[in-house]
Homo-oligomer: A and B are copies of this chain.
Amino acid sequence: MNDWIEARRAEIDRALAGILPAPPECPPPVGDAMRYSLTAGGKRLRPILCLASAEAVGGDRALAMPAACAIELIHTYSLIHDDLPAMDNDTMRRGRPTLHVVAGEGMAILAGDGLLTEAFHLMAREPRIDDPAIASRKLRAIARVAAAAGPLGMVGGQAIDLACVTPDPSGRLAPPLDAAALETMHAMKTGALIRASAAAGAIMGEGADAQIDAIDRAAAELGLAFQIVDDILDIEGASADLGKTAGKDAAAGKPTYPARYGLDASRRMAAECLGRAEAALRGGGIADGRLLEIGRWIVERSN
């Protein structure tokens, strides 16, 4: 992990620690629940990618910090809801009991709802509320992030995933997804928000449209690499490193990249994503190497 990434993560953790509404205005049960999940650690990949993208287009990363934090709120809400008994039914996350285990299902649902809502509250308000010079960029970033998080993106991908493991009224499961459908599902469930993190950073960093497009395309490759490596780690990783149960996807019979292509080919595919990301950035005239360093971190990580 390089110093720049480490410094940004610390900066983001500090910003997140002060971002949630506090008592007495915010009722403690839901405020505490939101904070429990938001401060549980995590890689902060999405906000780091957002800040790096703002700098990659020559912008001030401070302008992208609210969007970066908002995206981490959205990512955190998605983990809380995905972990619920009615979804993936996970009891451990980031090395701690999941929120519904400690706060109950109802409060976990509400905490997720609260984090998602606060994300848009934050992006609308900051930075520089009422500055017309960046108002249009803020709206564009909000629209981009919302599209990526909603039914055409993350929520839609999760719905496809859920439908695959949910029997119909006659008790039958839908046929397993083919390779193309699996890729679409991952692109929606995981890739869309990773892409939007980079795009929102480039938008808030006042990038030109060609720069934003190049970053968007590069981030799509990073998102795919992220998913492939996630699948590899599910097989190879130690539960202690992952902070969640390793092997769970494979045991559940979920279609994964290693299951379909084998471990070696999966590793090669992840590396090829980095190559295509590099080409996309070069094509858009983006010389900043940090996005590729983030790419290497994604591929080489152990959790």
Q: CB within 8 Å of B: which residues of A?
A: 20-21, 25-27, 29-31, 34, 77, 81, 84, 86-87, 104-107, 109-110, 112-114, 116-118, 120-121, 124-125, 129-130, 132, 135-136, 138-140, 142-143, 146-147, 149-152, 155-160, 162-163, 166, 188
Chain B residue at minimal CB-CB distance from A86: B105
Known pairs A104-B166, A159-B27; A124 contacts B142 (CB<8 A): yes
Set of chain B residues within 8 Å of A166, measured between Cβ atoms = 104, 106-107
Residue contact B118 to A116, C-beta cutoff 8 Å: no
Q: Which of chain B's residues has its CB closest to A134's CB?
A: B135
A158 touches B117 (CB 8 A): no
Question: Quick one: given A116-B116, A132-B136, are A121 and B150 in contact (CB under 8 Å)?
Answer: yes
Contact of A151 among B34, B120, B140 (CB under 8 A): B34
- Least Cβ–Cβ distance between A228 and chain B, in angstroms: 22
Q: For A142, list chain B residues within 8 Å (CB).
A: 120-121, 124, 142
Q: Which residues of B contact A109 (CB under 8 A)?
A: 81, 84, 86-87, 109
**Chain B residues whose CB sits within 8 angstroms of the CB of A87 once the complex forms:** 106, 109
Copies of this chain per assembly: 2
Contact of A143 among B86, B112, B124, B155 (CB under 8 A): B124
Asked if A139 contacts B146 (CB within 8 A), the reply is no
Instruction: Knowing A81-B109, A135-B139, say if A104 contacts B120 (CB, 8 Å).
Output: no
CB pair A110–B159 under 8 Å, yes or no, is: yes
Residues of B within 8 A of A117 (CB): 116, 146, 149-151, 155
Q: A208 to B124: give the CA distance in the assembly, Å.
A: 20
25 A-B contacts (beta carbon < 8 Å): A21-B150, A27-B160, A27-B163, A29-B163, A30-B151, A30-B155, A31-B151, A81-B109, A86-B106, A107-B159, A110-B155, A113-B116, A113-B155, A114-B155, A114-B156, A117-B151, A118-B150, A118-B151, A121-B146, A121-B147, A121-B150, A124-B143, A129-B143, A132-B136, A139-B139
- Are A136 and B130 in touch, CB under 8 angstroms? yes
Interchain residue pairs A-B with the least CB separation, the first 3: A121-B146, A86-B105, A30-B159
Per the bound structure, the CA–CA distance linking A107 and B138 in Å amounts to 31
Bound Cα distance from A155 to B139, whole angstroms:
24
